[in-house]
Amino acid sequence: MLLADKDIKKALKKRKIIIKPQPNLDVALTACSLDLRLNHEFEVFEHSRIPFFDPKHINIESLTKKAKLYKQRFFILQPGELALASTLEWIELPDDIAARLEGRSSLGRLGIVVHSTAGLLHPGFKGRIVLELGNHSRIPIALYPKMRICALSFEPLTQPAQTPYAKKKGAKYAGQTGVSGSKIHLDY
């Protein structure tokens, strides 16, 4: 069951769900989701530097190029390209609510996807959401900082999680403040 717009407003007002800065609810709030905006930092893979990804021995920092944009600039996402970015908003979920990350229909119709597989925010998540942006179109697409890029829907749990994400030992992405690449090598 998803939280309805009235319940999302109530959770934000009571600070059960924390979003900083809080989006303009007149624009961002829909019947059962909340739009979030794109931050100004991107990471793009420099695919010509390695022959393949090895999940056991990956060093993302050496394989990506960082780009920081300012208000007047935009980022061009090339066809077939994967770029990492993050939401402008910092999110804090309580121990009894999970969230689902979804793309926006208007951008999806241009070929933009916002996540490859990581669409679940666990209860207790705190941080900015890292987006796995892809362009399935054959045309490059301009992305602007502060544009509405994705939506969150909120799902109450049957009871509070026994081990919320931020309290889980080895939570690789807890407290991320911006773009953070894969830490899959820590699984080995």
| CATH code: domain of residue 144 | 2.70.40.10
> Distance between CA 1 and CA 128 in Å, rounded?
24
Residues 6 or more apart whose Cβ sits within 8 Å of residue 77: 83, 112, 133, 134, 135, 140, 141, 142, 143
Of the residues 81, 92, 102, 132, only one is catalytic, namely 132
To the nearest whole percent, how much of the chain has pLDDT over 70?
87
Stated pTM of the model: 0.86
Question: Do residues 18 and 92 make contact, with C-beta atoms less than 8 angstroms apart?
Answer: yes
User: What would the pLDDT profile of 64-104 be if each residue is shown by its tens digit?
Assistant: 777 778 766 899 999 999 999 999 999 999 999 999 999 99
Residue 182 domain-assigned?
no
Asked whether residue 50 carries a pLDDT value surpassing 70, the answer given is no
Amino acid at 51: P
Q: Which domain holds residue 95?
A: 5-50+60-159
Residue 114 domain-assigned?
yes
Question: What pLDDT is recorded for position 49?
Answer: 65
Query: How many independent structural domains does the chain possess?
Result: 1
> Distance between CA 105 and CA 85 in Å, rounded?
19
* Start-end of H helices in the chain: 5-13, 25-28, 105-108
Asked whether residue 59 carries a pLDDT value surpassing 90, the answer given is no
**Quick check: is 132 catalytic?**
yes
